[in-house]
A and B are shown apart, each in its own frame.
Chain A
Amino acid sequence: MKRTISIAAGAALLALSVAACSGGSSPAGPADPAGSSQASSAGFQEQHRGGTLRLQAKAGDGTLDPHINYSNGNWQVFQAMYDGLLAFKKVGGEASYDLVPDLAEAMPQVSQDGRSYTFTLRKGVKFAGGGEVTVDDVVASFERIYKVSGPTSGTFYAGIVGAAACVKKPKECTLDKGVVADKAKNTVTINLVEPDSEFPLKLALPHAAVLPKDTPDKDQGTKPIGGTGPYTAASYDPNKELKLVRNPNFTEWSREAQPQGYPDEIVYSYGLTAEAAVTAVQNGQADWVFDPLPADRLSEIGTKYASQAHVNQLSAFWYLPLNTNLAPFDKPEARQALNWAIDRQAVVKMYGGANVAQPACTLLPPGIPGHADFCDFPKPDLAKAKELVQQSGTAGQEVSVVVADDEVGKQIGEYVRSTLEQIGYQAKLKVISTNIHFTYIQNDKNKVQVSVSQWYADYPAASDFLHVLLSCASFRPGSDSSINISGYCDKDIDARMAEAMTLDRTDKDAANAKWGEIDRDLTKASPIIPLFTPKQVDFVSSRVGNYQFHKQFFMLISQLWVK
């Protein structure tokens, strides 16, 4: 998924570039891992139950409908509100990428051919609005994914039998052969058209949440939906506040899948700039700020408030998509030239420095299966870049760098423009609204040659980066939803990716080794230039305890202590 950086926070980042040039001190250090580990391994600690957790963000993150919302912020909140058949284990650290049964009683029985997953539903789990979860709710929820035209209905869940027809005619969707309930046995069998070793991961995402079967088949927006998690929304105004209260019908059924929460209420307020929110956290008026921390405050946070700062590497990267179907980047040498010319350390400084990002040599971020340790463009080499530009025959051509109008995007864009000039092009910067940037750069009709973008893992799989961003199938000419922004299509690479996905079913480490090789070959071909892997810096108030960082959904909100 993509994450949008706020303009206000971006503006503040400029300051750190100046500070960094003048040798400013380092910001926040890492959390105490032993502390996190000890806390997360304990059972529920009753003495910390209660209180109101106060969260801050500049703006609400869209609909409360888990089948539709595709943003980092709400996915994080949804972890405390909704459940699916499976879940990523709700703990901090490496184990948070493990799958565990959630509404399902156990991990599924998988047929020999890998096309059929049978789940036995737990008994006794209730929705916030009352009523026990039944197999009918499961079936209705899967059909609803298509009926509301969910953003991943045509991708993550397209492999379910009957899904293709549902995508075409959402309102008429029925999955009578794809999601089959057996009331007598209390089971649900999901049948796939083809085996998909990543399917269990997709079932653990909010888009596969099980909702009451009578939930209307349209985006519920600000209207709360009663889920099965420990919290439910009492009210939501994306311009003001989201208020979560305890789900009166929640009884913990699996600590790993859905632990009971500590705060009695969670109030997520909107409207403060990141600057103001940081001050509120420092003053104890707020407990956490969602937006990226302003660069000019990082040093202060890292020194005076070090014990309240937590730094964790994200499974994500910032990158430059290069249009491989348009001059000059239809020439591999031209792409490689820019890859050699980019100084990733300089770009990291623009983002806020080494404590909030690290240079990326690979397309797969650390922590994503298949990530391999290689670096074929270890440091900038302008001479080599200029030589490659000459070899490509594209010297002197005009290149526009298209960026969003946030400060970070503009800064990186200006840097890329300047670099292109240095290596022999006539370059200019084109700034467009953040609101349309992502769709604009996807549509090849807009003839974007190079832009700045980001990708955050939907789930921990190499294919979520390499296949999604660079496969032939992900390039849709003329579409605003053509996530292969580079328009790159290499049939051999596609075949190798298919092979790796198949191998994943029988030998994950061998599959990962193949993904590592594919990553390396793609990096060399340079349809995408990786820039850096961002880190998440969480700043909490002094009263907050039990911080745990989940690799998929970030800080575990429901597990924070405020008393």
Chain B
Amino acid sequence: MAIPEPTTQGLAPFKDWHTWYRVTGDLNADKAPLVVLHGGPGAAHDYTLRMARLAEQDRAVVHYDQLGVGLSTHLPDRGAGFWTAELFLDELDNLLAHLGIAGRYHLIGQSWGGMLAAEHAVLRPEGLKGLIIADSPASMKLWREECDRLRAELPAEVERTLREHEAAGTTDSPEYRAAEKVFNARHVCMIVPNPPEVLASDAKTAEDPTVYHTMNGPTEFHVVGTLQDWSVVDRLHRVTAPTLLVSGRHDEATPRTVQPFADHIPDVRWQIFEHSSHMPHIEEEELFLQVVGSFLDSTD
């Protein structure tokens, strides 16, 4: 399906930098706007653009590129101490204020975006009407354990290639990248070849991998960055916003990885998309729009 054209776009000043954003629909519409937090970190907004179709349900949808990627300010010389969850939380608060929607909004975070959304939600912001955590882990320990399990299920030669190149520090080699594609086709996006917007995000990450490599690591399943010990599990009880969990049956964010959200968030429901991996918003687009749209309508 076509990705809707934006109603407007712009740059929100953020400290000495700027955050690029786009809006589909009217921020002043009756329904509270939905802000999309992309993954990565450092993946750029492109691969989440089909969520803009929620604007067809008369709700504004805000996409933005987090600092360091895409059309927002790039800072390739900054190190691990700079790229923190707190930085991105501040950026989100800043954007909400800039758009004048801090008093009333929904969040949907995909992958790392869901981790960020959870970090935001545990602070109990007044304006957060509904929370959607899509394809996200509640802790990186669980994520790494489950990725190891999924890797073990790959063809033996593929897994060996990955292991050897990781040990040798040659994760940018063509062999490693080819092996990575096997994992991705099973657990990241089963639509192969990937849609243009997914390729666009991948290209932007490759163009400037600062944030992704610093916080995550070279791939989805080899997490050696600053997020490797991250967890929000012990704070989830603080989330007061109605919450929808979204994940795919074949998601790299496996049911075990997502489970703590369901166990500890008070007002929660979970939709597993049986024919999806990490991108139900693309892999089962119509059902995703229906499920998410209904949830948002119920929490306005």
Residues of A near B24 (CB, < 8 A) are 94
Q: Answer yes or no: A236 CB below 8 A from chain B CBs.
A: no
Q: In the assembled complex, how far is the CB of residue A8 from the closest CB belonging to chain B, in whole angstroms? A: 32
B4 with A510: CB separation less than 8 A: no
B2 with A99: CB separation less than 8 A: yes
Q: Answer yes or no: A370 CB below 8 A from chain B CBs.
A: yes
Residues of B near A374 (CB, < 8 A) are 10
A contacts with B, residue count (CB < 8 A): 29
B5 with A509: CB separation less than 8 A: no
A98's contact among B4, B8, B22, by CB below 8 Å, is which? Answer: B4
Residues of B near A97 (CB, < 8 A) are 4-5
A372 with B29: CB separation less than 8 A: no
Q: In the assembled complex, how far is the CB of residue A41 from the closest CB belonging to chain B, in whole angstroms? A: 8
A509 with B6: CB separation less than 8 A: yes
Q: Answer yes or no: A513 CB below 8 A from chain B CBs.
A: yes
Interface hub of B10, B25, B45 (most chain A Cβ within 10 A): B10
A93's contact among B10, B45, B58, by CB below 8 Å, is which? Answer: B58
Residues of A near B20 (CB, < 8 A) are 513
In the complex where A37-B57, A509-B45 touch, is A372 in contact with B9 (Cβ < 8 A)? yes
A512 with B30: CB separation less than 8 A: no
A477 to B228, CA, bound (A): 65
Q: In the assembled complex, how far is the CB of residue A347 from the closest CB belonging to chain B, in whole angstroms? A: 22
Q: Answer yes or no: B53 CB below 8 A from chain A CBs.
A: yes
Q: Answer yes or no: A490 CB below 8 A from chain B CBs.
A: no
Residues of B near A212 (CB, < 8 A) are none
A344 to B8, CA, bound (A): 21
Residues of A near B251 (CB, < 8 A) are none
A372 with B2: CB separation less than 8 A: no
A460 to B71, CA, bound (A): 22
Residues of B near A91 (CB, < 8 A) are 56
Q: In the assembled complex, how far is the CB of residue A34 from the closest CB belonging to chain B, in whole angstroms? A: 7
A507's contact among B7, B57, B200, by CB below 8 Å, is which? Answer: B200
B contacts with A, residue count (CB < 8 A): 28
Q: Answer yes or no: A18 CB below 8 A from chain B CBs.
A: no
B45 with A371: CB separation less than 8 A: no
Q: Answer yes or no: A271 CB below 8 A from chain B CBs.
A: no
Instruction: Give how many A-B residue pairs fall within 8 Å (CB-CB).
Output: 74
B9's contact among A34, A460, A516, by CB below 8 Å, is which? Answer: A516
Interface hub of A37, A91, A99 (most chain B Cβ within 10 A): A37
In the complex where A94-B24, A94-B56 touch, is A367 in contact with B45 (Cβ < 8 A)? no
A98 to B3, CA, bound (A): 8
A369 with B5: CB separation less than 8 A: yes
B10 with A94: CB separation less than 8 A: no
In the complex where A512-B6, A516-B9, A516-B10 touch, is A34 in contact with B56 (Cβ < 8 A)? no
In the complex where A94-B55, A95-B56 touch, is A34 in contact with B8 (Cβ < 8 A)? no
Residues of A near B46 (CB, < 8 A) are 507, 509
B22's contact among A94, A99, A507, A509, by CB below 8 Å, is which? Answer: A509
Residues of A near B5 (CB, < 8 A) are 94, 97, 367, 369, 460, 508
A99 to B1, CA, bound (A): 9
B9 with A37: CB separation less than 8 A: no
Q: In the assembled complex, how far is the CB of residue A511 from the closest CB belonging to chain B, in whole angstroms? A: 11
A31-49 interface (Cβ within 8 A of B): 33-34, 36-37
A94 to B29, CA, bound (A): 13
B4 with A94: CB separation less than 8 A: yes
Residues of A near B6 (CB, < 8 A) are 369, 371, 509, 512
B10 with A373: CB separation less than 8 A: yes
For B204, give the chain A residue with the smallest CB separation: A507
Q: Answer yes or no: A221 CB below 8 A from chain B CBs.
A: no
Q: Answer yes or no: A130 CB below 8 A from chain B CBs.
A: no
A83 to B47, CA, bound (A): 32
A95's contact among B9, B53, B71, by CB below 8 Å, is which? Answer: B53
Q: Answer yes or no: A366 CB below 8 A from chain B CBs.
A: yes
Report A358-378 CB contacts with B as 1/0, cut-off 8 Å: 000000001101111110000
Report B48-86 CB contacts with A as 1/0, cut-off 8 Å: 000001011110000000000011000000000000000
Q: In the assembled complex, how far is the CB of residue B283 from the closest CB belonging to chain A, in whole angstroms? A: 20
Residues of A near B30 (CB, < 8 A) are 33-34
In the complex where A34-B30, A37-B58 touch, is A509 in contact with B9 (Cβ < 8 A)? yes
A369 to B1, CA, bound (A): 18
Q: In the assembled complex, how far is the CB of residue A526 from the closest CB belonging to chain B, in whole angstroms? A: 20
Q: In the assembled complex, how far is the CB of residue B41 from the closest CB belonging to chain A, in whole angstroms? A: 19
In the complex where A509-B45, A513-B20 touch, is A33 in contact with B29 (Cβ < 8 A)? yes
Residues of A near B55 (CB, < 8 A) are 93-95
B9 with A512: CB separation less than 8 A: yes
For A97, give the chain B residue with the smallest CB separation: B5
Residues of A near B70 (CB, < 8 A) are 509
B64-118 interface (Cβ within 8 A of A): 70-71
Q: In the assembled complex, how far is the CB of residue A202 from the closest CB belonging to chain B, in whole angstroms? A: 15
B1-43 interface (Cβ within 8 A of A): 1-11, 20, 22, 24-25, 29-31
The 3 lowest CB-CB distance pairs between A and B, nearest first, are A373-B10, A33-B58, A98-B2
User: What is B's interface to A at a CB cutoff of 8 Å?
Assistant: 1-11, 20, 22, 24-25, 29-31, 45-46, 53, 55-58, 70-71, 200
Q: A37-B56, A91-B56, A509-B6 are in contact. List 14 more A-B contacts (CB 8 A).
A: A33-B29, A34-B58, A94-B24, A100-B2, A367-B5, A372-B8, A373-B8, A507-B46, A508-B3, A509-B45, A509-B71, A513-B9, A513-B20, A516-B10
Between A and B, 9 residue pairs with Cβ closer than 8 Å are A33-B58, A34-B58, A37-B58, A91-B56, A369-B6, A373-B8, A373-B10, A509-B70, A513-B9
